[in-house]
Amino acid sequence: MMSCLEAHKPSLCHSEPLTTEKVRAKLTVLKGVLTSCYGPFGRLKQLHNGMGGSVCTTSQSTVLLRNLSVTHPILKILTTAVQNHVSCFSDCGLFTAILCCNLIENVQKTELTAATTIKLNKHLLNFCISYLRSEICGCRIPVDFTSTQILLCLVRSILTSKPACMLTRKEVDHISALILRAFLHTIPENTGEPIILGKCIIVPLKGQRVTDSTVLPGVLIEMSVQLMRMLPARKSSALKVALFATSLSGDFSDPGEGSVVVSYGVSLENAVLDQLINIGRQLVSDRVDLVLCQKVIHPSLKQFLSNHHILAIDRVGVTLMEPLSKVTGAQPIGSLGPVSPSSYGNAKNWCSAKFGCKHFFHLIPNEATVCSLLLCNRNDTAWDELKLTIKDPWVLLGGGCTETHLAAYIRHMTHKEPGSILQDDGCTQAELQLIAEAFCSALESLAGSLEHDGGEILTDMKHGHFWSVQAGPPSAVNWPDLLSRCGCGVYSSQEELTWSFLRSTHHPFVPHTRLPQEALEITQQSAHSLTVDCLTAKLSGLKVAVETANLILDLAYVIEDKN
């Protein structure tokens, strides 16, 4: 522990790190950067490394946080927490980060002790989660898997929240449809419990139009033009496939720890080649049509196979092995011994395809859950989102409505039944009011940061939804004419609502819980304009944000090791 041999520099110890102006300023800057990126109208950031490397334009939290070099330990904690969250859910990164910053900022203003704030934050979080998970929750919609509407909305919401993709409306529609189709492909037809999803291989293609993206069943293997030309003519019947996991290059496997002495005149190469040709003979006699090898095939063997009209493709790579095995039903062969007939697989057909400047060998399966999604602009986030949605088939209303609604509900409950949140923990009601206010305004200003163009944000006094209006509203306004739909698109302005400014103080009101059935039915028809978020990701984001904020608020010291 106290090693004398290492020259240690003593550590630096800062007390009450959050109270210093410097840290606060840093937090504000970070928050500013993040909020300006938030939402579909978020501003893009150009990341430029003075030391070299490519310039990157983004508004995504993943890219942004990965590239920003954060030095202060507190900010580091915050950004790592967000990054870890994003790597799990690939969504709600900015949501988590901004909420966390807002919470820290607001709670500090209350000047309550850390102990109280942390306790109350935790209670509020539990309250939110149980509300969002409860039946009466007014801001979630069940996912109806019989219709694709909501799923499509989900994908679309995510795509539109990534302004850096630079997609037009038409392109968004196209890609959303493709992603959804690819996703539906991977769901096996006869589903038992548990559902094992198939695989979608995303093949990125640069320099093509977005609308050229397609979904193809089966596997695409990239090939060079020369190899493409060497391919024999297509066969119409089904293919028998052999899939090799072992190298067919004739390299000598591990000789062991001792030494191997080879007598003069003995050629191991010949010996191995003999073995390879033997395998080739067996393949010929077994009437195999296609040989796929993960590693390299010896040129002699390749020649031998092509002489016998067997198609041989090598260097497939380990990532494609599993999908290939799934597509064809072939067992990867791992030895140079006799091949057991049971390890062969089948394919319907193959064809060569050219997309842009790349050539592909397209293996068409009989019936399988593997497909290839040719994406011209890559987006896997939407993908993960769909997977999560299957696990927890609910979506939350997006577009800021969940946040404002939640805030309204918390306000109302802290006013009416503080006992339901306060679990006799030695906190007073006044303390609860203060912290609840901080919590709610953190949520509301999060929703508010969706607006980037200087517009005003309103909330209605019935549902507590989010409405945004363009900058500079006339003084005497007829709100229903000025507003059209709320953030998520469930309600229209023609429903006899009253509005107030979100930032202004207003009396707590009772937001309507439990989405009315007719509202849902309206949305089913006009689902096109609905914005929704994945429940699992958002809940986890909420938890991570509050937990991280609590963690940071709890810090009494920062000890920096300066070695």
Partner 1 sequence: MKSPRDPGKLLGFRPGADPGELPFLSSWVPGLSNPTREVQGQAFPPSEFVKSSGFSNREAAPVRLPVHSLLPVSSPPFPLPVAPAALGQCRCSDGCQVEAVSPPSSMAVAVSVKTALQVAEVLEAIVSRCVGPEGRQVLCTKPTGEVLLSRDGGRLLQALHLDHPIARIIVACVSSHLKKTGDGAKTFIIFLCHLLRGLHTITEKEKDSLISENIQTFERRWKNCCQWKFISQALLTFQTQILDGIMDQYLSRHFLSVFSSSTKERTLCRSSLVLLLEAYFCGRVGRNNHKFISQLMCDYFFKCMTSENGMEVLELVDDCFVELNVSVIGLPVSDSKIIDGLVLHRDFSVYCPADGDIRVAVVREIIQPVFSTSRSEFVLNSEAQFQTSQIWIMERTKSIMKYLLSQNVKLLLSTVKQPDLVIYYARLSGISVVDCLSSEEVSLIQRIISLSPFVLPQASLQCEISDTALVKFCKPLILRSKRYAHLGLISTCTFVPHCISLCGPVQGLVEQHENALHGAFKMLRQLFKDFDLNYVKKANDQNDALRPCIYKNNRKSNQVPKIGNHSIHRSYQDTGIKNSDKLEKTQYLKAHSNLVVSDVELETYIPCLTLKMMPPDRVQTDEIWRCLPPENKRITDDYELLIESNSTRNSLTENPGIEISYENFQVTNIAGKGSMLPVKYKSLDTCISQSFCSSSIPAGCVLPVGGTFEILLHYYLLSYAERCQQLEEIVVSKLIASALLGIPKILYKPKKGSHSFPQIYLRALHTLQTSQPMISCQAGLESVTGKYHVLTSVLQCLTKILTIDLIMNIKRQPLKNCDQDSEDELQH
Which of 43, 50, 71, 64 minimizes the C-alpha distance to 560? 71
- In the set 226, 236, 263, 478, which binds partner 1 (CB under 8 A)? 263
How does strand 140-142 pair with strand 358-364?
unpaired
List the Cα angle 373/379/380 in 5-degree steps: 80
Confirm or reject binding of residue 300 to partner 1 (CB under 8 A): no
**How far is Cα 18 from Cα 16, in angstroms, rounded to an integer?**
6
Residues 116-155 within binding reach of partner 1 (CB under 8 A): 118-119, 121-122
Residues 525-544 within binding reach of partner 1 (CB under 8 A): 540, 543-544
Residues 74-113 within binding reach of partner 1 (CB under 8 A): 74, 76-77, 80-81, 84-88, 111-113
Size of the site for partner 1 (CB under 8 A): 82
> Tokens 């019989």 belong to which residue?
146
Q: Is the peptide bond before 418 cis (omega within 30 degrees of 0)?
A: no
Q: From the CB of 432, what's the least distance to partner 1, in Å?
A: 14
Q: From the CB of 266, what's the least distance to partner 1, in Å?
A: 6
Q: From the CB of 17, what's the least distance to partner 1, in Å?
A: 7
Confirm or reject binding of residue 13 to partner 1 (CB under 8 A): yes
Q: From the CB of 306, what's the least distance to partner 1, in Å?
A: 25
Confirm or reject binding of residue 259 to partner 1 (CB under 8 A): yes
Report whether 350 contacts 363 (CB < 8 A). Answer: yes
Q: Which is nearer to partner 1, 12 or 230 (CB)?
A: 12
Q: Which is nearer to partner 1, 13 or 233 (CB)?
A: 13
Q: From the CB of 154, what's the least distance to partner 1, in Å?
A: 20
Q: Which among 12-20, 144-152, 345-353, 503-511 is the span making contact with partner 1, rule CB under 8 A? A: 12-20
- In the set 11, 28, 307, 319, which binds partner 1 (CB under 8 A)? 11
Coil, strand or helix at 479:
helix
Confirm or reject binding of residue 66 to partner 1 (CB under 8 A): no
Coil, strand or helix at 553:
helix
Confirm or reject binding of residue 325 to partner 1 (CB under 8 A): no
Q: From the CB of 351, what's the least distance to partner 1, in Å?
A: 31
Extended beta strands in 33-113, E state: 45-47, 56-58
Assign residue 245 a region (left: φ > 0; alpha: ψ between -120 and 50; beta: otherwise): alpha
Amino acid making up residue 333: I
- In the set 136, 318, 471, 559, which binds partner 1 (CB under 8 A)? 559
Confirm or reject binding of residue 194 to partner 1 (CB under 8 A): no
Contact string (CB under 8 A) for partner 1, positions 16-55, x = contact: xx-xx-----------------------------------
Terminal Cα distance for the chain, rounded? 15
- Alpha carbon dihedral 495, 394, 138, 441, in 10-degree steps, equals -100
**Tokens at residue 47, please?**
């990341």
- Going by C-beta distance under 8 Å and a sequence separation of 6 or more, which residues neighbour residue 449? 35, 36, 38, 39, 98
Confirm or reject binding of residue 115 to partner 1 (CB under 8 A): yes
> In which element (H, E) is residue 21 found?
helix 21-37
Q: From the CB of 6, what's the least distance to partner 1, in Å?
A: 9
